Amino acid sequence: MFEGIISDPIKIWNDVWRNFSEFLHVQENARSHSTPQTLASSWNPPPHGFIKINVDVSFDQRSKTASLAAIARGSDGSFITGANALNFAGSPLVAEALAVRLGSMLANTQQWRNTILESDNQTMIKCLKGYCKPLWEYVVVHDDISLLIT
């Protein structure tokens, strides 16, 4: 649920995949042209030598189902790998925390050390940086993430 709108997690994931496939197609076409093209994007690449993992979630309040996604890209914007999952979650906050954990698990599994994890769940990110205590709803997930990133 986002801004009072209930969304179908599978539809969201399919939309994300379609948009990502379109992005790859545009990127490939841009490489094949002799004149450089500028693609409008709000995504900022990580510094050289780092990998950025972007995470996001779609949450269905009715079924308490969350579609999680994590996409890893290099400093040149190239796709490295990704992960997705379908989980039950008690709330959108828990779902967002699970997406951050998915991204953390991806970095941990790949044994990446120079990683930037990006999420729109600023509360979770601030708590992971030690600026606040996690909400009781997702304290267990927060603790899992803390173990994964240390």
In tens, the pLDDT along 76-119 reads 999 999 999 999 999 888 999 999 999 999 999 999 989 999 99
Alpha helices in the chain (DSSP H): 9-32, 92-110, 122-128, 139-149
Q: What's the predicted TM-score (pTM) here?
A: 0.70
pLDDT of residue 35: 45
How many angstroms separate the CA atoms of 47 and 32, rounded?
25
How many angstroms separate the CA atoms of 146 and 150, rounded?
6
pLDDT of residue 5: 67
Band (pLDDT 50/70/90 cuts) for residue 135 is confident
> Domains in the chain, please, with CATH?
7-25+44-147 (3.30.420.10)
C-beta separation of 99 from 68 below 8 A: yes
DSSP secondary structure of 57-79: EEEETTTTEEEEEEEEE-TT--E
Give the mean model confidence (pLDDT) for residues 38-63: 85
Those residues whose C-beta lies under 8 Å from the C-beta of residue 52, and which sit 6 or more positions away, are 45, 46, 72, 73, 115, 116, 117, 118
Residue 78: closest CA among 11, 23, 146, 123: 23
